[in-house]
């Protein structure tokens, strides 16, 4: 599953100079000239260390206070993903296909991509695994990404495996 996210921002800035002050009673009040625009929605450049920090905070960290969105969940439901979704409908919670922190959370320094992956091994029977999502917790938590598989897994028996890999891009 590939997801594209462009982290983009703009810089705007203004300046005004103090030209004098006016004393009223015992208080001096500054008098400024007009605001002058220095920049108006100028594209910024994200540095390589900035990219690395974003990837770590969003996807690869796995410590309290900075857990990334790297818990992989599976579902047997066909979904209609929407930006307002907060839960994974039909999430599987048992028999080897329950939500887990991805053992593979890799980001190469200075690049725009992170890979989050896991191979699940069924310890029971499943009708058809059809979707996945990424969360920041082992239950509940924030769901950062959601997607249907192009095709379902078909019936799974104990010992069958499902490999899930999310390739995330932020540039």
Is the Cα torsion angle 62, 63, 64, 65 positive or negative in sign?
Answer: negative
What is the per-residue pLDDT for 11?
A: 67
Q: What is the rounded CA–CA span in Å between residue 38 and residue 31?
A: 20
23-30 average pLDDT score: 94
What is the per-residue pLDDT for 9?
A: 60
Instruction: Report the share of the chain in percent with pLDDT over 90.
Output: 44
Chain-centre distance of CA 113, in angstroms? 12
> What are the tens digits of pLDDT across the range 61-117?
877 667 888 999 999 998 898 888 999 999 999 999 999 999 999 988 888 888 999
What is the per-residue pLDDT for 51?
A: 77
pLDDT confidence band for 4 (50 / 70 / 90)? low
**Residue 22 to residues 19, 28, 34, 128, 138, Cα–Cα distance (Å):** 10, 5, 17, 77, 61
Per residue, the 3-state secondary structure of 108-139, as one string, reads CCCCCEEEEEEEEECCCCECCCCEEEEECCCC
What is the per-residue pLDDT for 64?
A: 64
50: which DSSP letter?
A: H
Q: Name the residue with tokens 């800035």.
A: 13
Please name which of 56, 92, 58, 51 lies closest in space to residue 75, comparing C-alpha atoms.
92
Rounded to the nearest integer, the mean pLDDT of the chain is: 85
38-58 average pLDDT score: 72
Predicted model pTM: 0.74
């Amino acid at each position: 599953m590939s997801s594209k996210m462009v982290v983009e921002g703009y810089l705007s800035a203004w300046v005004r100079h103090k030209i004098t002050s006016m004393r009223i009673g015992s208080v001096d009040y500054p008098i400024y000239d007009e605001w002058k625009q220095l920049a108006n929605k100028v594209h910024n450049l994200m540095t390589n260390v900035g990219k690395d920090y974003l990837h770590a905070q969003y996807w690869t960290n796995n410590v309290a206070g900075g857990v990334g969105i790297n818990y992989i969940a599976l579902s047997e439901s066909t979904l209609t993903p929407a930006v307002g979704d907060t839960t994974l409908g039909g999430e599987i919670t048992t028999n080897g296909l329950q939500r887990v922190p991805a053992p593979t959370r890799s980001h190469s320094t200075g690049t725009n991509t992170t890979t989050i992956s896991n191979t699940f091994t069924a310890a029971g029977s499943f009708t058809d695994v059809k979707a996945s999502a990424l969360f920041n917790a082992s239950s509940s938590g924030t769901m950062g990404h959601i997607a249907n598989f192009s095709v379902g897994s078909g019936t799974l028996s104990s010992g069958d495996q499902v490999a899930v890999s999310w390739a995330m891009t932020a540039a």
